[in-house]
Amino acid sequence: MPPKKKSAAIARPPLPVPNATHPCASLIPSVLDPASLIERPHPASYHAFLTSPYYPIASPSSEPPTKKRKKDSSEPKLPPALDSAIEAAVVQKKLLAWFDGVKEKRGMPWRKEVDPKTLSQKDRTQRGYEVWVSEIMLQQTQVATVIPYWKKWMEKFPTVKALAKADIEEVNEVWKGLGYYSRAKRLLDGAKTVMEKHDGILPETAEGLLDIDGIGPYSAGSISSIAFAQRSPMVDGNVTRVLSRLTAFHAPAAAKATTSYIWALADVLVPPQPKKKKASSDGDDRSTLDVGGLNKPGAWNQALMELGATVCTPKNPNCAECPLNDECLAYAEARYVAHRPAADGSAAAAPDIEDLCTLCAPLPYEEASEARRHGVEVYPMAKEKTKKRDEETAVCVLEWVPSGTDEKSDEGRKVLLIKRPEKGLLAGLYEFPAVDLPASTAPSTPKARSKYLDKLLHTLLDISSSTTFSPSSPEDADSSDLRIMSRSTLPPVTHVYSHMNRTYHSERLVISSPSFPSLRKASPASPAKKDDLVQSLPGRGKWVDAADVEGENVGGAVGKVWEERQLQAKGLASKNGAKAKGKAKAGEGAKTAKVEKRQGSLAGFFVKKEEKRVKETVEVDDELIVVEEKHEVKVGTNGGKAEAVVEQQSKIYKKRRIAPASDDEDE
């Protein structure tokens, strides 16, 4: 058999020759001088080659709108525009024309060609509500995932009024599976604010929208421009990346000065909504009136996001197809470096030190060879990576069965669920009784976890303080006839969140009594202490049928714990490799993850593995989506009689999402 040929690496097409017509073309040789490329000394005006009627003249730059913080006079100004600066109308015309041709490709049902001026006030509020819901969902989730959820949401809560009448459980039920449930609560709180303080009418300006609970600067800008054609900027991760590359801006992402600059630039580039649709009197073909549809500001903001999501991507951007590649300064730099002329011995003129940009940071090159490959992907400046912390939680799957019932029977079986607080991680969702364990350099022990759970259960159940939770015989039942039938350990489950990896150590506790134990009422709130543990609270629990647990509003980690409980109850092997206690019932052997392997034929050796995706679980992050894919791997035979071996394999990886959130709203 001839040796297998290696597939050739996919080579990128050569970059075009340097762009001599770019307004910064004369500055690039000195800015990218090989001797100082890492520092990249450049004048502040290097970023100011675009201007517009809204460009400030020696005045402080606009900041992202805030609800409480006043403008800081020390924030930097947009630098004076270059004498050779081009009008923003040039890029507006190009980008809007491009957007006209691609805006329908991803089939977003909330994208509508509407002139807000032609709508009644009621219809404008409805339009704003549709955009509002879509933008909140898109802040943390990919477009393809959002579309069916948006449709489902609009069917359940078609108007702001309908949403305001709902409760958090109804809202979480519709949101279930999208992650970051606090977003759903913010929508609910915002709808109530609109009905109570604004008579059911959604404000149309960014400033007015900031008064709505749950709406931050990004959401306010997107709703006001897309729904109401207001000339409002909006900045998310995609917009930041596009504008940073457009102006070759390399500054720390978390710095206030960086945020101020990006918002200011976004502001001056938003085109106004024309009062009348007519051709430019002087015949200037740069007019944006014939592109961008009926809503110019909304189309512009959506076009920036679309460009960042589909063309100006974090990795391997398609610069050749970008409608702004002639104006993009990062691309102009890359073209110059790729075709840098041979050194002629003359030193490039350095910019005046008093005019140097004070916002940009050095480029992240350590060697000259890296600098020779200078490209657009170096912009924007990468965020510093922080290591996720590891945390542990003790969980009790508490089950009750009526006295005299077989422990293995699900007849009348109830499971205790506790509602999480309305704020914070997984706000308003239900979980099994749980307590977050104190931080420690060493993993927790089973004995320590059991002690925490015993103490927790006494705060949740209205039982005697002398009750212990060790398995007992009928004669050992306490004064309330409560009997501990069994207590067993479930395999640990690890769940990946945006900021931490949490391991859930679960125990399964089955109790029995004539009627299920009463739950304690909520206790008066007391000042929190520094060493208090986060745990399930009394007054927020309910008993549910065991068969209904999966249908409750629970998070992904709770679902994983319940899967392990189900496997143990059936005597099946754990998904993470641990052995289940007890024996499987007759006829259940076929459901195990591995089918018994028997003698096979030689033909089976040559059969390729067939992979089938079983399901995909998504956890969201402010920049990345953590995806866990589980595959069912089958091995068959070509005509042989050997039985197949079925295994489940899990693969976890990260994908950068399409539209990162920009609002400063913590999960």
**Residues catalogued as catalytic:** 135
Half-sphere exposure in the Cβ direction for 459 (13 Å, CA)? 18
For the chain, the first-to-last Cα distance in angstroms comes to 57
Comparing C-alpha atoms, which of 52, 58, 27 is closest to residue 40? 27
137: left (phi over 0), alpha (psi -120 to 50) or beta: alpha
List, as one string, the DSSP characters of 410-430.
-TT-EEEEEEPPSSSTTTT-E
Q: State how far the alpha carbon of 358 is from the alpha carbons of 251, 361, 453, in Å.
A: 9, 8, 55
**Is 204 within 8 Å of 128 (Cβ atoms)?**
yes
Task: Say which residue the tokens 């490709």 belong to.
Answer: 105
Comparing C-alpha atoms, which of 617, 513, 602 is closest to residue 563? 617
Q: In 10 A of CB 306, how many CB atoms?
A: 26
Using alpha carbons only, how large is the chain's radius of gyration in Å? 30
Whole-number Å distance between alpha carbons of 159 and 151: 13
Q: Map residue 184 onto helix, strand or coil.
A: helix
Which residue type occupies 304? L
Q: Is 398 exposed, middle or buried (0-12, 13-18, 19+ CB in 10 A)?
A: buried
Q: Is the peptide bond before 380 cis (omega within 30 degrees of 0)?
A: yes
**Is 30 within 8 Å of 350 (Cβ atoms)?**
yes
Helices (H), 515-628: 556-569
Contacts of 462 (CB under 8 A, 6+ apart): 517, 518, 519, 520
Can you say whether the dihedral through the CA atoms of 440, 446, 447, 450 is positive or negative? positive
